[in-house]
Structure 1
Amino acid sequence: MNPDALQQLLNAIATGEISPDTALETLKHLNFEPVADFAKVDHHRHLRTGFPEVIWGPGKTPEQIIQIMTTMARHSPVVMATRIEPAIAEQLEAEISSLIYYPTARICVLQTGELPSQGTGVVSILTAGTADLPVAEEAAITAQFCGFQTQRLWDVGVAGIHRLLSHRDLLSKADVIIVVAGMEGALPSVVAGMVDCPVIGVPTSVGYGTSFGGVAPLLTMLNSCATGIGVVNIDNGFGAAILAGQIIRTARRISSR
């Protein structure tokens, strides 16, 4: 349950629009709600962390994802499911008519209300190459549906550094930058040496044999001599977007004191 919905419920009780018994039925699953015998939906997560629970698609059947999404949609204006392959998305769309699928990001979104507004602050997402787009789009779509403004800058890797340098103005205005890179993973270090905002490095599993499925760029980012870099796990565009959002929200909270 998001804070606005909870406030509306409490107001409705106070004004007598709904009875305490009806409110009890709504609130009894405030912490979590069982879905059949295979899931427990965490409705309280938005109240604790500022972001609702998101469904991890792999390992779940289409039927399970459908039941979880419809359960969550009764309490949240936006429900997301990540890492959904096209064949699975087709089955979900056949059962949930208002579902939107973003194939590059492999994200399904069920939106039943207005997006939450996170105010000012822009999450900028960069990729080293075109092959990094699936992870970058996962970050971009996640940030977008969490209510943040986003801007994209694709294919500006170090093999053609002039492509990055031609966008100095965009980089200088960024609030938080997510840098998605495979191969040797050098791009976050270069970007962090040019900007005065936090940089989140996302290593991808793109690369030749000795990239070890993304371990090589992961180690490069962790060993960066540039300061101000945080690194998430391999291919974790979703985690990078949530971290970027928390940075922006924390900065805004501090500035309002």
Structure 2
Amino acid sequence: MAQDKLRSLLRQVQNSTLPVDDALEHLKTLPFEDLGYAKIDHHRKIRNGFPEVIYCEGKTIDQIKGITGALMKTDNNILGTRATKEMFEAVREIAPNAVYHKSARCIVVNPKKEDFHPERYIAVVTAGTSDIPVAEEAAVTAETFGNRVERLYDVGVAGLHRLLARLDKLRGAYVVIVVAGMEGALASVVGGLVDRPVLAVPTSVGYGASFHGIAALLTMLNSCASGVSVVNIDNGFGAAYTASLIMKD
């Protein structure tokens, strides 16, 4: 952060030459912290509502540790997605309170409950057990961002009675995330049962003609149920981020 610019900004507010709201707008665009290999956006939460998240896949251990250390200067929960156990062990060297969610492949540092709307919850629904890793990425992301999550797993169209048995939990949700591979039909079914936004996540689960999730993606994009929006294949994080924005309304 450019301390001289921040000091000047605070002096203007102190001297009543700059309105507080105008100062807040300036804060939204303050410089990032440059680590050389990464530019840490400490003010993303001010602009977007949630802090920067570390996408760990493709980064080195040292890069992940450096980025985590920079983000630890704030009091925010820190989320690392697509992380290995090796990455977690390295992060724990500088953040002893870090937690690793194996199924989700997520690291959470400084975990604390924020629960902005305790009366609301996000339902994360999977068609099958094989979809759970993507669903857990969504669930852990949503919880890290301060939401209550209800998990409804293995309730796909091959045995629709399993979903109908949880209809009360499904319809009580403020937002529903549906995670499904194979033909991806569950999103349309759920969309026809609830009056809340449905965020569909196609997964790469399935045999050859599923084309690593493309079949489920196309089914979800062509859903005849209103209110179904679709994110990228296996993108549990993206669905949870959007759900969290809806929850803030």
Compute the TM-score of the two structures, normalised by the length of structure 1: 0.83
Q: CA deviation at 1:115?
A: 4.0
Within-5 A mapping of 1:11-26: none
Give, in whole Å, the separation in 2 of the partners of 1:229 and 1:220. 11
Is 1:198–1:228's contact at 8 Å kept on the other side of the alignment? yes
Letter in 2 for 1:116: E
Letter in 2 for 1:123: I
Residue 116 (structure 2) aligns with? 118
SS at match of 1:230: strand
Residue 157 (structure 1) aligns with? 156
Residue 19 (structure 2) aligns with? none
Letter in 2 for 1:118: F
Letter in 1 for 2:189: V
Residue 160 of structure 2 is aligned to residue 140 of structure 1: no
Letter in 1 for 2:116: Q
1:105-142: CA deviation from partner (whole Å, max 9, x where unpaired) = 00011107x44342242111000001001110000000
Q: CA deviation at 1:98?
A: 2.0
Q: CA deviation at 1:92?
A: 2.8
SS at match of 1:108: strand
Within-5 A mapping of 1:52-201: 52-111=51-110, 114-119=112-117, 120-201=119-200
Q: How many residues were matched structurally? A: 226
Residue 246 (structure 2) aligns with? 247
Q: CA deviation at 1:160?
A: 0.6
SS at match of 2:248: helix
Letter in 1 for 2:33: E
Is 2:51–2:76's contact at 8 Å kept on the other side of the alignment? no
Residue 255 (structure 1) aligns with? none
1:75-102: CA deviation from partner (whole Å, max 9, x where unpaired) = 2321111000223323333443221111
Give, in whole Å, the separation in 2 of the partners of 1:226 and 1:239. 21
Is 1:78–1:115's contact at 8 Å kept on the other side of the alignment? no
Q: CA deviation at 1:31?
A: 3.3
Residue 254 (structure 1) aligns with? none
Give, in whole Å, the separation in 2 of the partners of 1:122 and 1:96. 29
SS at match of 1:140: helix
Give, in whole Å, the separation in 2 of the partners of 1:157 and 1:40. 42
SS at match of 2:108: strand
Give, in whole Å, the separation in 1 of the partners of 2:85 and 2:67. 19
Q: CA deviation at 1:57?
A: 0.3
1:21-52: CA deviation from partner (whole Å, max 9, x where unpaired) = xxxxxx8x9431112x1000011110011011
Is 1:77–1:115's contact at 8 Å kept on the other side of the alignment? no
Is 2:68–2:91's contact at 8 Å kept on the other side of the alignment? no
Residue 18 (structure 2) aligns with? none
Compute the TM-score of the two structures, normalised by the length of structure 2: 0.85
SS at match of 1:96: coil
SS at match of 2:224: coil
Q: CA deviation at 1:168?
A: 1.3
Moved over 6 A (4+): none
Residue 208 (structure 1) aligns with? 207
Give, in whole Å, the separation in 1 of the partners of 2:154 and 2:234. 17
Give, in whole Å, the separation in 2 of the partners of 1:51 and 1:95. 23
Residue 225 (structure 2) aligns with? 226
Give, in whole Å, the separation in 1 of the partners of 2:169 and 2:115. 23
Give, in whole Å, the separation in 2 of the partners of 1:202 and 1:230. 9
Give, in whole Å, the separation in 2 of the partners of 1:220 and 1:74. 44
